Amino acid sequence: MSLWCDKHRPKTLNTLDYHKEQADQLKKLVHSEDFPHLLVYGPNGAGKKTRIMCSLKELYGPGVEKLRIERQQFETPSKKTIEMTTLASNYHIEINASDAGIYDRIVIQEMIKTIAQTNQLDAQTQKSFKVIVLTEVDKLTKDAQHALRRTMEKYMNSCRLILCCNSTSRVIPAVRSRCLSLRVPAPTADQIAMILKQTCKTEGLNLPQELANKIALKSNRNLRRALLMCETAYVAHYPFTNDQEISEPDWELFLRETARQIVQQQSVDRIVQIRDRLYELLCHCIPADIIFKGLLKELLTICDGQLKPQIVEIAADMEHKMNLGDKQIFYLEAFVVKFMSIYKKHLEFSLAGCI
C-alpha cells in the first residue's frame, strides 16, 4: 500500500492538474531542437519534482520510470571515501550532492565527468544527451556551485542538468544565468481542495467540500502535506465528517508549544528548558532553518506589532550566521535570548504606560 501522494502523482505533462500553461511550455521545450539546462525552483510540495519527471518522460518515453538505486563511491584528496546514493534510469540520474557536506564539490565534478564522457549509443533515435537531476542545489557550497558552472559548459554536448531548489537566492548568479529558470508556484487552496476531492473520488471515497477546504487551508499550500493530511484523516475516521480533527505533524505542535513557553515566561530557567526542547527537535532531524522559520512564525502571531520588524531582523541575522557557523543550537538559543529580552522590555514598558 503506497501513500496517496505517491500513488496519484501525475505521470505525464498532459495530466498535470494546475499550472497548465507552464506544462504546455515545457512540452514545447522538450520537442524543440535544443533542450536547455533547467533550474526549477519553488516552495515545498508545489510539484517541482513531478514536473521534472513528467518532462523526462516526455523526453525519453516510459523508460525513465524504471528506476534503480545505485551507490557510488567517491574519494576525497584526503583519502576519505564518501558513499552517495543515486537514483538512475537508462536516461537520467538523480543525486542529492548536498548529502556529501563539504565534499560536495568532488562528488559533483566526478559524477558529471563520468556521466558526461559516455555518449548515448544511438543518437538517431534517442536524444543525444543524458539528464542529470540535482536536488537541493541551494544547499551546495559555493565551491561546488562554481564547479558546477565549469562542468556545465564543458559537457554541454552530452548532458543536460536539471537543478531543483527552493529558492534561487543561494544559487550563484553564474549558475542561474546558464539555466532556464522555471518557477513552480504553490497551488492555491482551491486547487488543492479540488485535487483532494479528485483523489478521494479515485480512491472510491466521498470527501465533503468543507473538509477539503479545511485541509487545504491547514496545509500551507503544500500539496504533499495536504494529501498526507487527508489520508491520515481517512485512517483516523471514515466516513469523513465536516468537523473532524485534522492532525498536524507532531514537531509542529511541539514547536508551537515551545513558542508559547517562550512568551509565557522570560527567565534563565526557561532558557534551560527551551534548550532541551530545541535539542529534542534537532535530534529528530528537523532542519534548523525550519525550526527557525516555525519558531518565528509562532512568535510573530503572539507578539505585538511594534516588535515584529525588530524580531524578524534578529531572526534573519541569526539564521544567516548559522550558515556561517557550525553549531546550530548556539544560534537558536541566541535568538531565544534576544527575543526574551526584547519582549520583556516591551512588556514592562507598556505596563508602565498603563499605570
Residue 268 CA to residue 5 CA, distance in Å, equals: 44
Give the bridge partners for 231, in sequence order. Answer: none
Of 201 and 330, the one with the shorter C-beta distance to another protein is 330
Residue closer to another protein (CB basis): 86 or 168: 86
Reading the block at residue 294, the C-alpha cell is: 516555525
Compute the least distance from the CB of residue 246 to another protein, in Å: 10
Rounded distance between C-alpha atoms, residue 328 and residue 321, angstroms: 10
Choose between 193 and 228: whose C-beta lies nearer to another protein: 228
CA atoms within 13 A on the CB side of 106: 18
3-class secondary-structure state, position 128: coil
- Pair 255, 290: CB distance under 8 Å: no
Please name the residue ranges forming H helices in the chain. 4-7, 20-31, 48-60, 104-117, 142-154, 173-177, 189-203, 209-218, 223-236, 250-264, 268-283, 288-302, 308-324, 328-354
Measured from the CB of residue 41, what is the shortest distance to another protein in angstroms? 14
- Residue in 268, 260, 275 with CA at minimum distance from that of residue 330: 275
- The crossing angle, in degrees rounded to 10, of helices 328-354 and 308-324 is 170
Cell output for 56 = 523526462
Residue 34 or 326: which CB sits closer to another protein? 326
How many other CB atoms are found less than 10 A from the CB of residue 227?
24
Crossing angle of the two packed helices 308-324 and 288-302, in degrees rounded to 10: 170
Judged by CB, which is closer to another protein: 176, or 251?
251
308 vs 344, which CB is nearer to another protein?
344
Could you tell me the smallest distance in angstroms from the CB atom of residue 334 to another protein? 4
Closest approach, Cβ 28 to another protein, in A, equals 26
Q: Which is nearer to another protein, 178 or 277 (CB)?
A: 277
Alpha carbon distance 28, 36 (integer Å) = 12
Q: What is the largest CA-CA distance in the chain?
A: 84
- Least distance CB 267 / another protein (angstroms): 8
Which grid coordinates are listed for 126? 534517442
Distance from the Cα of residue 202 to its chain's centroid: 27
Shorter beta-carbon distance to another protein: residue 307 or 337: 337
Closest approach of another protein to the CB of residue 225, in Å: 6
Question: Is the omega angle on the peptide bond into residue 187 within 30 degrees of 0, that is, cis?
Answer: no
> What is the CA 58 to chain-centroid distance, rounded?
24
**What's the min distance (Å) between Cβ of 254 and another protein?**
4
Q: Residue 60 Cβ, how far from another protein at the closest point, in Å?
A: 17
Beta-carbon-side half-sphere exposure of residue 52 (alpha carbons within 13 Å): 28
Minimum CB separation of residue 119 from another protein in Å reads 25
Residue nearer to another protein on the CB measure, 86 or 145: 86
